[in-house]
Amino acid sequence: MTLQDDLLTLGITAERIATTVLTPCPEATDLVAAGDDLFGRPQRMTPQTSRAWSAMQSAARLTSIHLQLVSAFRSIKHQCEVIRRKLDEGRSLDDILRNNAIPGYSEHHTGRALDLHSGEGSVLTESFDQTPAYNWLTENADRFGFYLSYPKNNPLGISYEPWHWCHKE
């Protein structure tokens, strides 16, 4: 089955893809082990992202900021599975695509995107922007080559995600 077939089974048509303002994201092939996420799942990212993540996490720790990895690389196939699971839960495709990129368009495919958590509150919620960790990231992430991909009122059609940071490489 091709990606186009997978997308169609999810209800993602060529017309829907044509309206996205996200750019296609190729799936990374050069990935390294980056330790476990906060759920104990092994994570991978590009070598450059891994080095930058380690340096950023260490620098944050020196100021008593604890950054935790929620997720990193996600294959296109895994992105399809995430959307399928949410559809099976009864969520609408429009709702899902406000929070998840179309498979083939997610920065997670590049191995450069990280979803982060501070250990405070719920995981992957907007309340992350009320934490010292988020404040630290907004002031320091750029020094390590990371940027906030989906700020408030972004034009990309993805909801505000204060936890989602991508390495520039």
pLDDT at residue 120 in the model: 87
Task: Give me the chain's average pLDDT, please.
Answer: 96
Q: Within 13 Å, how many C-alpha atoms sit on residue 104's CB side?
A: 13
Q: Where are the domains of the chain?
A: 3-167
Fold designation for 3-167: Muramoyl-pentapeptide Carboxypeptidase; domain 2 (3.30.1380)
Q: What is the pLDDT of residues 107-160, one digit of tens each?
A: 999 999 999 999 988 999 999 999 999 999 999 999 999 999 999 999 999 999
pLDDT at residue 34 in the model: 96
pLDDT at residue 126 in the model: 96
pLDDT at residue 42 in the model: 98
- Mapped onto helix, strand or coil, the DSSP state of residue 96 is helix
Q: Say what percent of the chain tops pLDDT 70.
A: 100
* Burial classification of residue 67, based on how many CB atoms lie within 10 Å of its CB (0-12 exposed, 13-18 middle, 19 or more buried): buried
pLDDT at residue 17 in the model: 95
Q: What is the pLDDT of residues 57-78, one digit of tens each?
A: 999 999 999 999 999 999 999 9
Dihedral of CA atoms 113, 115, 118, 120 in degrees, nearest 10, equals 170
Give mean pLDDT, residues 45-63.
98
pLDDT at residue 163 in the model: 98
pLDDT at 169 over 90: no
How far is it, in rounded angstroms, from Cα 39 to Cα 71? 9
pLDDT at 86 over 90: yes
